[in-house]
């Protein structure tokens, strides 16, 4: 009688998910709002991910999901925080 050991399947990163996240980051300029997100993406070995890569990928996905849910109702890129002065005043034209 042969002993059968379970086959260990290494976790992978879905290429479609990866492409969707990268595309969203580029389209909505998340690198401006979340400066560390590009460094995290560059540190991930998506072809043969190790546990640290999977943790980094999970962090990137959390950031992505947060912005995705926000932009679902507001489908436009937002301006960086430091683009405008601290206060913006609107003045009505004189009649």
Q: Which residues contact 38 (CB under 8 A, 6 or more apart)?
A: 25, 31
In tens, the pLDDT along 25-45 reads 998 888 888 889 999 999 999
2-16, 27-41, 43-57, 79-93: segment of lowest average pLDDT: 79-93
Name which of 62, 63, 46, 66 is nearest 54 in CA terms. Answer: 46
- Token couple for 70: 């926000």
pLDDT in tens, 46-74: 999 999 999 999 999 999 999 888 877 77
pLDDT at 75: 67
SS3 52: helix
State how far the Cα of 64 lies from the Cα of 27, in Å rounded to an integer: 12
pLDDT bucket at 78, cuts 50 / 70 / 90: low
């Amino acid at each position: 009688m042969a002993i059968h050991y379970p086959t260990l399947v290494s976790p992978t990163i879905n290429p479609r998910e990866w492409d969707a996240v990268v595309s969203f980051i580029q389209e909505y300029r998340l690198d401006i709002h979340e400066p560390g997100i590009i460094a995290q993406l560059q540190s991930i070995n998506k072809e043969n991910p190790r546990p640290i890569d999977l943790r980094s990928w999970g962090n990137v996905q959390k950031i992505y999901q947060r912005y995705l849910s926000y932009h679902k109702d507001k489908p436009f890129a937002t301006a960086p925080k430091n683009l405008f002065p601290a206060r913006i005043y609107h003045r009505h034209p004189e009649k």
